[in-house]
Amino acid sequence: MARLLDKRLLIITGKGGTGKSTVSAAAALVSAREGRRTLVCEVNAKDRVTQLLGLPPAGPELTSLAENLWAVNIRPDDAMREYALMTLRLESIYKAVFENRFVRYFLRFVPSLQELVMLGKVLYHLQQKLPDGSDRFDTIVLDAPATGHAISFLSVPRVLAQTVPPGAMLREAERMRALLEDAATTAAILVSLPEEMPVTETIELGAGLREREIQPQAAVLNSFTAPRFGESDLAALAARKRLLLVAREHRRLSELSRQSRETLERGLKLPVLTVARRYERRFAREAVEEIASELEPGLKAGR
């Protein structure tokens, strides 16, 4: 059975604030530990992944973070330049066309062009080769935009393939669409929290991606609280009011976590991996390492 970790492209997305960047960083660590050359990509973001790992910002250039681990933050202008140079081949032509201020002004109004070139850069690295012909990267972890923006971002190749006339852009859109919709290559991992709204949005996100032929293959329920206190424990704490309040709150959170997990499993029909709730004042690399260890069995499991 294929493992999640064997997919070439892992798309991590979810409602904003659910911890998708943390899950992206943790998944990249698991992949790198496995000996897979791994690139974690952020898209027009604030270098959140490298910050979580306690490292300097990656920026738009490929940056080595550790053995088997690289990062890049893909921004529209930089991606446009790379895309244009790869297409036009000559830097002089690029400067004459794309650095002309009038051309740049009108390019802002080309529908989905920014999304296309940023996604194109991600998929370029997916197909990038070493001199010996092997893949430059075994795994790309994409810290994708949140929920609704993620659907529109990942839908760009499909929309363009259905609307643009024959030519270079159509060929590029069809190539990108084929990679995103190939379940043997690409897996979406949806991140949620044990709360009603994130769970509902996660199920809707899964349905939206499936409608666009992009296959979610797992979910991560972040801030999961495992049960610890039973009725006998609460009875034993009856005389210790403050401890009893803590135990009751823990029990409430554990019940909410159980219900959220069951709802996600029923609504998505996918395995749901869990990450324990944490109470650190400062969320540092040590916590990301722990989360990587929690996710590792699920990422290595066959389906």
- What whole-number distance in Å separates Cα of residue 156 and Cα of residue 149? 11
Residue type, 264: L
The CATH number covering residue 199 comes to 3.40.50.300
> How many structural domains does the chain have?
1
| Angle ∠(301,126,155) on CA atoms, nearest 5 | 90
Q: Give the pLDDT of residue 82.
A: 67
Q: What is the pLDDT of residues 261-290, one digit of tens each?
A: 999 999 999 999 999 999 877 778 899 999
| Helix/strand/coil for 66 | strand
Residue 236 exposed, middle or buried by CB count within 10 Å (0-12, 13-18, 19+):
middle
User: Within a domain: residue 179?
Assistant: yes
Specify the range with the lowest mean pLDDT, choosing from 7-11, 22-26, 225-229, 237-241. 237-241
Q: What is the pTM of this model?
A: 0.87
| Helix/strand/coil for 122 | helix
Sheet containing strand 272-276, edge to edge, reads 63-66, 69-74, 38-43, 139-143, 9-14, 186-192, 216-224, 272-276
User: Within a domain: residue 215?
Assistant: yes
User: Within a domain: residue 257?
Assistant: no
Q: Are 52 and 22 in contact (CB under 8 A)?
A: yes
User: Strands 216-224, 272-276: parallel, antiparallel or unpaired by DSSP?
Assistant: parallel
Other C-beta atoms lying within 10 Å of the C-beta of residue 259: 13
Q: What is the pLDDT of residues 140-177, one digit of tens each?
A: 999 999 887 899 889 988 887 887 778 777 788 898 89
User: Within a domain: residue 233?
Assistant: no
- Residue 84's φ and ψ, nearest 5 degrees, are -65, -40
User: Within a domain: residue 266?
Assistant: no
User: Within a domain: residue 243?
Assistant: no
Residue type, 158: R
User: What is the residue-averaged pLDDT of the chain?
Assistant: 85
For residues 110-117, average pLDDT: 67
User: Within a domain: residue 232?
Assistant: no
Give residue 207's domain range.
4-226+271-300
Q: 100 is written with which tokens?
A: 């002309």
Other C-beta atoms lying within 10 Å of the C-beta of residue 265: 14
281/81: higher pLDDT = 281
User: Within a domain: residue 114?
Assistant: yes
Run of H or E including 192:
strand 186-192
Specify the range with the lowest mean pLDDT, choosing from 76-80, 237-241, 277-281. 76-80
Which residues, 6+ apart, have CB-to-CB distance to 291 below 8 Å?
22, 23, 26, 275
The alpha carbon of residue 239 and the mean position of all alpha carbons in its chain are separated, in whole angstroms, by 47
